[in-house]
Amino acid sequence: MTRLAFVPPGCTDCHTHIALSRYPMTSPRAYTPADASAQDMRAMMDRTGIDRIVVVQMSVFGTDNSCMMDGVAELGSCARAVVQLDGDTSAAELDELHRRGARGIRVNLNTTGLNSPDQARERLSIAERLCARNGWHLQLFTSADVIAALAEDLRNLTVPIVFDHFGLLPVLARDGAAEHAICDLLGRGTGWVKVSGTYRLDHPAETVAIAALARDLHAENPANVVWGSDWPHAPHHANVAQENPAPQPYRDIDPSDMLATIGAWFDAPAVRQAILVDNPARLYGF
């Protein structure tokens, strides 16, 4: 890994994960990750020139955020968290998570293949209520079809919504209902997009088309686009929950290559500064 020349001070990676096998994982689950500790995270940050980090709850830990929040505490003031919670979470628990750096709730339907509009509506409603207490955002990871089906529901949310990994929008079949829904929310200022996880898209080799998608989303609202590496890059899996699946290695991806996309997609230093520093500072309260 190498430090990239264009990376500004305060560069923020808005999508990473921490995993340690000594913490209990849910079962069934989609995969079993190898350990990726806060120390590993710090080493990655030092090598790539990343100064601030956002850690997102891994699906394999369900609503037990202990592994991630302990890692965030170890990283200190440079770190924020996006948690996963259920409807029984108390006000006191929410306030304590906020004090410890949580700034959003993730609704992850994609990892275990639960891309159902009805399930999404139920979980969005719970997350919206919990987010409202401390001014958090709601982070959604689901398919483009579900985003299209929920366009009106998403427009009526009372908290900001952040779409993981380009909203999994099609790279080549552009101008569809999901893209319109996301662009509408970006235009309204209530929607945010992470230009991250390009290898998760339907045509990851179409780098020119991905660049065009990134620029078009950015043009809708330059103030509401952020970047993430998706480190440590979850293993390939079938998006199907299994009972205690065998451990799998992470994908062999260099976070510097993921960060280099911002330099390739956006020429202007002011644009890179906004995506990598200023926009994350507003969204996560750095």
pLDDT at 154: 97
The per-residue pLDDT for range 27-86, each reduced to its tens digit, is 888 788 999 999 999 999 999 999 999 999 999 999 999 999 999 999 999 999 999 999
As a whole number, the mean pLDDT across the chain is 94
Q: Which two tokens mark 170?
A: 């099609």
Q: Which two tokens stand for residue 135?
A: 């001014």
Q: For position 112, what pLDDT does the model report?
A: 60
pLDDT, mean of residues 189-199: 96
Q: What is the pLDDT of residue 245?
A: 80
pLDDT reported for residue 220: 98
* Residue 200 burial (CB count, 10 A): 16
* pLDDT, average across residues 111-140: 88
Which residues, listed in sequence order, are joined to residue 231 by a DSSP beta bridge? 16
In the sheet that holds 225-228, the strands lie side by side as 12-16, 52-56, 79-83, 102-108, 137-141, 161-163, 191-196, 225-228
Predicted pLDDT at 1: 52
pLDDT in tens, 227-286: 999 999 987 777 777 788 888 889 999 999 999 999 999 999 999 999 999 999 999 999
User: Residues 160, 73, 99, CA angle at the centre, nearest 5°?
Assistant: 50
230: left (phi over 0), alpha (psi -120 to 50) or beta: left
Its CATH architecture, for the domain 13-284, is Alpha-Beta Barrel (3.20)
CA distances from 80 to 23, 105, 180, 184, 215 (A): 20, 12, 30, 27, 26
Q: How confident is the model at residue 2 (pLDDT cuts 50, 70, 90)?
A: low
Nearest to 182 by CA among 170, 167, 197: 167
The answer, yes or no, to whether residue 171 has pLDDT greater than 90, is yes
pLDDT computed for residue 130 by the predictor: 98
Lowest mean pLDDT among 15-19, 46-50, 106-110, 269-273: 106-110
